[in-house]
Amino acid sequence: MADERCCRISKKVQICLAVGLLVAVAVLAVVGVLKWLQRPKWNGRGTTDNFAGMVLERCNVYTQMLQPALRNVDCQKIQEAFKSSSISKNPCNITEEDYQPLVKLTTQTIPCGKTVLWSKAKETAHEYTRGDREMFTLEDTLLGYLADGLTWCGDTGTSEMNYRSCPHWKKDCPNNPVSVFWKMASRRFADAACGVVYVILNGSISNPFDENSTFGSVEINNLRPEKVQALHAWVIHDVGGVPSDPCMTSSINKLKSITSQRKIAFRCRHNAGLPHSLRI
């Protein structure tokens, strides 16, 4: 009888513990959902799925296959530094200093005369550099390769990335993780350029040179006259389009004026389709 009574008590205890555990799990789940729902709903896309995994994979591909000279780079530390740049931080108050640990881990020297800038002609520029691995756009460097096409942000009060939404640069705030990153990376890329620098512009639009673009507002102003001999522009227009010389447009003349004021020589050529060589 005593054994049966003990057995019944033991089962009751087990049932109580099981019920208590289920209740605790349910409460934690509800709290987690409520916290998630309380996160700010921004107007931009959320962090790219598997962001950390993609950064690590890209780092390994770049350092082991594309640029094996960088094979000794620590991709695990780069992954951690990239995540840490926005984790537990206000996504509308990111600064360039937040990326300094990542920048130090991805330092890379681009040879003189190998820098290719672009404005509203990303696909054309990358098509060119894919055919000439000696030339580099920003996205062909390790830092740019890691982030190209990705979105990321965190939130204060949590150590997780925000996969729901991230700030839109215009609708929410300009100092968001992605915008600050590309402005910082573009500035550093232009500042490090030397020799002849090339830029590919879109001649199929009315203003191939846009002063408000990243090239017009950041990169052109950070080319250093003591290091850069000249800026050579290729203005590419659609094959079969209306024959014209986009190098004579007012926007290109504005670019020429800016380079002249900065004591950097300027040369412009136009072409229908991708140039075989940028070296003009």
The three-class DSSP label of residue 276 is coil
Kindly state whether residues 85 and 7 are assigned to the same domain.
no
Domain containing 215: what range?
Answer: 109-140+193-280
| Set 7, 59, 112, 247: catalytic member | 112
C-alpha span between 92 and 43 (Å, rounded): 12
Query: Which residues are registered as beta bridge partners of 118?
Result: 200
| Set 92, 173, 194, 247: catalytic member | 194
Instruction: Please compute the mean of the pLDDT values over residues 116-125 and round it to a whole number.
Output: 95
C-alpha span between 267 and 246 (Å, rounded): 13
**Interval 68-102: pLDDT, tens:** 999 999 999 999 999 999 999 999 999 999 999 99
Is 194 annotated as catalytic?
A: yes
Domain-embedded: residue 147: no
- Structurally, the chain folds into a number of domains equal to 3
* pTM of the shown model: 0.83
Query: Which residues are registered as beta bridge partners of 230?
Result: 196, 265
Single-letter residue type at 105: L
Kindly state whether residues 197 and 181 are assigned to the same domain.
no
Kindly state whether residues 99 and 3 are assigned to the same domain.
no
Angle subtended by helix axes 75-84 and 51-61, to nearest 10: 140
**Interval 33-70: pLDDT, tens:** 445 445 568 999 999 999 999 999 999 999 999 999 99
Residue 169 is part of a domain; what is its CATH number?
A: 1.20.82.10
Domain-embedded: residue 131: yes
Domain-embedded: residue 146: no
Kindly state whether residues 85 and 164 are assigned to the same domain.
yes
For residue 132, the model assigns a pLDDT of 81
Kindly state whether residues 259 and 210 are assigned to the same domain.
yes
CB atoms within 10 A of CB 147: 22
| pLDDT > 70 fraction of the chain, expressed in percent and rounded | 80
Domain-embedded: residue 201: yes
